[in-house]
Structure formats: structure tokens, C-alpha cells
Amino acid sequence: MQNNQIFINTVRFFILMLLQVIVLNHINLLGYVNPYAYIIFILLFPFDGNKTLLILLSFLLGLCIDMFSDSGGVHAAACVLIGFLRPILLKFSFGVSYQYNAVKLNKVTFKERLLYIILMVSIHHFMLFSLEVFSLSHISLILKSTLFSGIFSTLLILCILLLFKRKEN
């Protein structure tokens, strides 16, 4: 990674963390629906970047969110999972050659981008709510939360990506 990228990613890490814990954790639409937009960091992490570093940083980001929201390690677990699965999902969404063609998220077609975001968000949210509720008898609550929060997060992530499109170039 170049210096420039390191700087951008560091700033993104902290801004997204603060945005999540100060604003987004307190939206509580319909009582329980919160968007989790901080995973933009994991979504946007350079596609050709170090995978080991991404897993470590995902864990750190999740742990920070957990620290603020007193939730044990649920965010950390969900983040580590999508950090680890990201190369596979990238391959699935953008085709095998994503690494060589220097794909950027705002240059691919809308369909591919949406697929990638939805996959990442749904895996993250499902892991998150499964661990947070932590009981099989509340499986409907887990699925309901995953669905509603997932839709909310996906929309918010798309909006944020659109807003900051030029800066990411």
C-alpha cells in the first residue's frame, strides 16, 4: 500500500467508527432497527491489499464498536468473518480476474456492486444478530433483525458510497 492509501484508510477507520457509535447506534428505527455502516471500511479496503492485515484490522474495528456498545465480541466476530471471506466474495461478485484488472468499487457495474454489498452485509448482520441474541428459540428475531437492519444498512452504504464517489477515485 502507498502512503496515501494508508492515510485514507486510517482516517476512514476512525471516522466510520465515530459515525457508528455516536450517530448510527442511536437511530433505533421502529425500536430496534439500526444500520451498521462501519463495514464500509472492510468493503472499501484496497482489493489488492494484504489479506492478513485486513483480517487483523477487521477484528480491531469490530472490537472498537463492541467496546462502545457493550456487546462483548459480537461485532468483532462478524467483522473477522467478512474480512476473512472477502476475497471469496470478491471473486464471486466481480469474476476471477478482479485482482489483475485493478477493479475499483465505483467503476464496476451497479449490479455487481449491489451483489457484493448485499452479500457482505447479510453475512455480517446474520453473524452479528445470531451472536447477539444467542438463542435458537429466537431464530425469527434473528432473521427479522437481519432482514430489516440489512436493508437499512445496504441503502445507507449505497448512499454514502455515492456521496463520496469522487474522493475515492
Partner 1 sequence: MQQIISFFIKNKNFLLFAVLFLISFILTLESHSYHNSKLVSSTNFFSGKIYKVSSSITDYFDLKEQNKSLLEQNSMLLEFQANSTKPTSQKMLDSTLSRNFSFTDAMVINNVYGKTNNHITIDKGHNDSLEVDMGVITSKGLVGIVNKTSGKYARIQSVLNTRSQINAQLKKSKHFGFLTWNTQNPHVVQLTEIPKLAPIAIGDTIITGGNSSIFPKGILVGSIANYTLENNDSYTVDVKLFNDMTNLSHVYVIKNKNKQEIIQLQSNNDAE
Kindly list the residues in this chain that would bind partner 1 in the complex (CB under 8 A). 18, 21-22, 25-26, 28, 31-34, 51-52, 55-56, 59, 62-63, 66-74, 76-77, 80-81, 83-84, 131-134, 138, 141
Whether residue 9 contacts residue 45, with contact meaning beta carbons closer than 8 Å, is answered with yes
Whether residue 5 contacts residue 104, with contact meaning beta carbons closer than 8 Å, is answered with no
For partner 1, the closer CB: 148 or 164: 148
Please state the closest distance from residue 46 (CB atom) to partner 1, in A: 16
For partner 1, the closer CB: 112 or 144: 144
Report helix, strand or coil for 70: coil
Please state the closest distance from residue 128 (CB atom) to partner 1, in A: 10
Please state the closest distance from residue 71 (CB atom) to partner 1, in A: 7
Cα–Cα distance between 56 and 60 in angstroms, integer?
Answer: 6
For partner 1, the closer CB: 12 or 138: 138
Read off the amino acid at residue 26. Answer: H
Beta bridge partners of 86: none
Angle at CA 78, nearest 5°, toward 129 and 86?
135
Please state the closest distance from residue 31 (CB atom) to partner 1, in A: 6
* Closest C-alpha to 120, from 145, 93, 98, 159: 93
For partner 1, the closer CB: 130 or 154: 130
